[in-house]
Amino acid sequence: MVTKQLKGTSEDAATVTRADSLAREIFSDIANKWALLIIEALGEGTRRFTELRGDVDGISHKMLTQNLRLLERNGLLVRTVHPTVPPRVEYTLTEPGRALRATVDAMCDWTHRHLADIESARNRFDTPDAAPHLRQTSGQ
């Protein structure tokens, strides 16, 4: 993330630096396939742990637990424990979580709009002799 140059006090600069640092931390927490898939699943409504495991194909118990904790820590979902036997735990997106889901939906829409372009570029890149300059790095 690039910090914008501000003309102001050192306190203003410190605020921008803290915001950039926090943004990088949050992006690190949510920029993985599991977090995005969990957010998408919760966008359909409140879910229990086992429902989420079924909705997020291929996620392990451990990865689901870790990602739910990260999303809760960042205020993107709320975990509600109902005092029953056995305890019933439900997860619901918060307002910031719903806003993030709208962004995730926009990313999915972008993917669908540009799918043919992406597949074409990948095929060109992966075809031997088609574009050898694409595979060279600056060190070669």
The per-residue pLDDT for 136 is: 57
Closest by Cα among 45, 32, 29 to 98: 45
CB–CB of 52/41 below 8 Å? yes
Sign of CA dihedral 109, 114, 118, 120: positive
| 47-59: burial string, b at 16+ Cβ within 10 Å, e else | bebebbbeebeeb
Instruction: For tokens 């086992």, name the residue.
Output: 50
The per-residue pLDDT for 14 is: 79
User: How far apart, in Å, are the Cα atoms of 63 and each of 8, 22, 49?
Assistant: 43, 23, 12
Q: Tens digit of pLDDT for each residue in 77-91?
A: 999 999 999 989 999
Flag whether the pTM goes above 0.75: no
The per-residue pLDDT for 27 is: 87
Q: Any idea what DSSP says for residue 32?
A: S
Q: Per-residue pLDDT tens, the chain, 140 aa: give them.
A: 444 555 567 777 778 888 888 888 888 888 888 999 999 999 999 999 999 999 999 999 999 999 999 999 999 999 999 999 998 999 999 999 999 999 989 988 999 999 999 999 999 999 987 555 555 555 54
